[in-house]
């Protein structure tokens, strides 16, 4: 087998292998050549070459999101590294394990005007679980004459490492830092950064390893619920007649069905689920905004819970946030192993265990159900809203709202549905979701960047068909995501093209002015047709209800040797009227 000659590169690659990091996304460069040589010549790794570092990092995010295990991204030095930042921030807030491997120049070549050189040390400090700044191998240090080494302070620092520091000590330090970084990614589920300095020559190879790095054991201590805290929660719970559970982003099958069934039996409990919660029960309350938006102040007060229990990631619905901030619960508990957001400014407890573990301990000890009409009252309102929803759909013209109704009914059973941010995820919240479909969206930072790349990353490691629904701005913004050789032929993209940022027409502002259309809505005439031709996608389009229905009949079939894209054109100046009219109609 071929290995990079540089011991540090061998160390990084061998420890990634020992930690079972199988998927490695590499962006081309020279300074990262030792790592590229190491990963790409070892059949243990599945390597992907993606030129655009921003897309590469989101592609890796999609893989790690599906596998729930660390995925590595490798780049050269300089600004290439900074392009990882949007995906790193998303991974940080969404608890997704990414291992960032950045090549760097030696210390004596930083700050002297060399190209592709920035200050890479701790560059992601605010959005990273661990930053490992590795040391250059002494054996690979160039023997630069003293009078040519500038500045003098850096020369002295290098000399201390070169002559007083032993290579054995540096090797031990590097192994320790790599182990620590990857262990943090695995245990704490988030991004870590390993900065790796290399000096030239970069492309030399050997056939035998010169180092045998040791992988350290992962120190994992399962968290438990404090018995006193559990008893205190039970006392509050058994006394409260109005209890609300609100679930944000949640992976499929995270909660055992028996606990969901038990919660559904309690008349004092209502469970609000967002589309990204991946929780389904006939007694639960999806389509939160459909319930909340038409409420009068008296009804909002009536909905106010005594206890609010939250779990999962960030909440999409602005309406539930506004309501619970105005009518705060007496108790707000968040259950989850990581951060607890005080979204409603009344957080009392953070129970630091997995939700399923909490329900296992909590519901087993619940002695009785309290008498309450809380759920029955809101189930009646839910049924009324569903009837009004159906009535509104019958009278709708072709628009974004109508399109999302048709699209969500068409998504194949047992597929994966990825959604972009902004309009797509918000429209999705207004409709019932196919119970067999798993739903994902980058809600950690809720940005429109990287949604396409994430969905494609998901598709390459999942046997199920992945369907990606996106708005036009998000799609065109991330169009470099299509530039890869790994997209499976059953991957499907649906672009709802309303010629701009249609969501801004819903928000307060001076619509139909040149200033608004240019700087907020960003009106355009772009289409995806030529992008599809360039990247080898089968292109479909629709601009009417009949045309869309006809196209959808064959769109998901695997009858082509390439992935497919469907572009649906909707009336730009009508969509906001239809959506705002919907909430008025529900009343």
Average pLDDT over residues 385-401: 95
pLDDT value at residue 164: 47
Q: Name the residue with tokens 């008498």.
A: 371
- What would the two tokens of residue 252 be? 């499929």
d(CA 458, CA 32): 25
Distance CA 194, CA 46 (A): 20
> Does position 451 have pLDDT exceeding 70, yes or no?
yes
Assign 319 to helix, strand or coil.
Answer: helix
Q: What rounded mean pLDDT belongs to the chain?
A: 92
The C-alpha atoms of residue 453 and residue 460 are separated, in whole angstroms, by 11
For residue 249, the model assigns a pLDDT of 96
Residue 231 CA to residue 346 CA, distance in Å, equals 21
Q: Report the SS3 class of residue 325.
A: helix
Predicted local distance difference test score (pLDDT) of residue 428: 94
- Residue 312, pLDDT > 60, answer yes
> pLDDT, tens digit, for every residue of 118-148?
999 999 999 999 999 999 998 644 443 344 4
Cα four-point dihedral sign 139, 142, 143, 145: negative
Which pLDDT value is given to residue 143? 43
DSSP label at residue 353: S
Q: What is the pLDDT of residues 255-310, one digit of tens each?
A: 999 999 999 999 999 999 999 999 999 999 999 999 999 999 999 999 999 999 99
How far apart CA 26 and CA 8 sit, in angstroms, is 18
Residue, of 441 and 108, whose pLDDT is higher: 441
Q: Give the model confidence (pLDDT) of 24-77 as tens digits.
A: 999 999 999 999 999 999 999 999 999 999 999 999 999 999 999 999 999 999
Higher-confidence residue of 65 and 108: namely: 65
Mean pLDDT, residues 444-466: 96
Mean pLDDT of 377-399: 95
Spatial distance between the Cα atoms of 231 and 236, rounded to a whole number of angstroms: 9
pLDDT at 106 over 90: yes
Confidence at residue 159, expressed as pLDDT on a 0 to 100 scale: 59
Q: What pLDDT shows up at residue 160?
A: 55
DSSP state of 546: H
The confidence score (pLDDT) of residue 157 equals 62
Q: Catalogue all structural domains in the chain, each as residue range(s) with its CATH number.
A: 3-200 (3.40.50.970), 227-379 (3.40.50.1220), 396-586 (3.40.50.970)
Rounded-to-integer distance, Cα 323 and Cα 293, Å? 10
Mean pLDDT calculated for residue range 342-363 = 96
What is residue 144's predicted lDDT score, i.e. its pLDDT?
A: 39
pLDDT at 504 over 90: no
φ and ψ at residue 244, rounded to 5 degrees = -120, 130
Least Cα distance to 445 among 249, 183, 246, 185 occurs for: 249
**Percentage of residues in the chain with pLDDT exceeding 70?**
92
Tell me the C-alpha distance between 369 and 346, whole Å.
Answer: 25
Per-residue pLDDT at 223:
85
Q: Which residues pair with 404 in a beta bridge?
A: none
d(CA 89, CA 248): 18
pLDDT digits (tens, 9 = 90+) for 181-227: 999 999 999 999 999 999 999 999 999 999 999 999 888 788 889 89
Quick check: 24 and 52 in contact, CB under 8 A? no
């Amino acid at each position: 087998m071929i290995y990079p000659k540089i011991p540090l590169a061998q160390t990084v690659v061998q420890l990634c292998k020992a930690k079972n990091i199988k998927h490695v996304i590499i962006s081309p460069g020279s300074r990262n050549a030792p790592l590229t040589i190491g990963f790409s010549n070892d059949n243990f790794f599945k390597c992907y070459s993606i030129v655009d570092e921003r897309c590469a990092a989101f592609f890796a995010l999609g893989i790690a999101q599906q596998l729930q295990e660390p995925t590595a991204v490798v780049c050269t030095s300089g600004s290439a590294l900074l392009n990882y930042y949007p995906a790193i921030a998303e991974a940080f807030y969404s608890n997704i394990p990414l291992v960032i491997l950045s090549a760097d120049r030696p210390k004596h070549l930083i700050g002297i005007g060399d190209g592709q050189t920035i200050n890479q040390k701790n560059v992601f400090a605010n959005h990273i679980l661990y930053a490992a700044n590795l040391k250059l191998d002494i054996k690979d240090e160039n023997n630069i004459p003293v009078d040519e080494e500038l500045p003098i302070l850096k020369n002295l620092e290098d000399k201390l490492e070169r002559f007083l520091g032993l290579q054995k000590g540096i090797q031990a330090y590097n192994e320790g830092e790599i182990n620590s970084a990857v262990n943090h990614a695995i245990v704490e589920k988030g991004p870590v950064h390993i900065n790796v300095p290399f000096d030239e020559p970069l492309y030399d190879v050997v056939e035998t390893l010169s180092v045998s790095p040791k992988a350290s054991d992962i120190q994992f201590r399962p968290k438990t619920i404090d018995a006193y805290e559990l008893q205190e929660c039970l006392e509050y719970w058994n006394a409260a007649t109005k209890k609300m559970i609100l679930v944000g982003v949640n992976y499929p099958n995270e909660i055992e069905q028996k606990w969901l069934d038990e919660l559904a039996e309690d008349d004092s409990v209502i469970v609000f689920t967002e589309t990204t919660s991946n929780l389904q029960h006939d007694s639960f309350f999806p389509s939160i905004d459909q319930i909340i938006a038409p409420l009068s102040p008296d009804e909002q007060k009536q909905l106010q819970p005594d206890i609010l229990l939250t779990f999962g990631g960030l909440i999409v619905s602005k309406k539930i946030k506004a309501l619970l901030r105005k009518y705060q619960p007496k108790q707000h508990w968040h259950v989850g192993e990581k951060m607890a957001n005080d979204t409603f400014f009344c957080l009392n407890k953070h129970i630091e265990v997995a939700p399923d573990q909490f329900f296992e301990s909590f519901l087993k000890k619940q002695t009785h159900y309290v008498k309450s009409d809380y759920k029955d009252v809101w189930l009646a309102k839910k049924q009324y809203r569903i009837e009004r929803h159906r009535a509104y759909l019958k009278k709708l013209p072709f628009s974004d709202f109508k399109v999302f109704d048709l699209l969500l009914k068409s998504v194949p059973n047992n597929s994966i549905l990825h959604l972009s941010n902004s309009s797509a995820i918000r429209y999705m919240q207004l409709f019932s979701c196919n119970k067999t479909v798993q739903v994902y969206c980058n809600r950690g930072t809720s940005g429109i960047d990287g949604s396409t790349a994430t969905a494609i990353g998901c598709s390459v490691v999942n046997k199920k068909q992945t369907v990606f629904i996106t708005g036009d701005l998000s799609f065109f913004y991330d169009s470099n995501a299509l530039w890869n050789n790994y997209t499976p032929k059953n991957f499907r993209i649906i672009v709802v093209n309303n010629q701009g940022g249609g969501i801004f027409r819903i928000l307060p502002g001076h619509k139909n002015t040149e200033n608004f259309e240019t700087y907020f809505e960003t009106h355009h005439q772009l289409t995806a047709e030529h992008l599809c031709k360039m990247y080898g996608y089968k292109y479909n389009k629709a601009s009417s209800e009949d045309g869309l229905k006809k196209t959808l009949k064959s769109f998901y079939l695997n009858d082509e040797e390439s992935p497919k894209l469907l572009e649906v054109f909707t009336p730009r100046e009508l969509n906001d009227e239809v959506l705002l009219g919907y909430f008025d109609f529900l009343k």
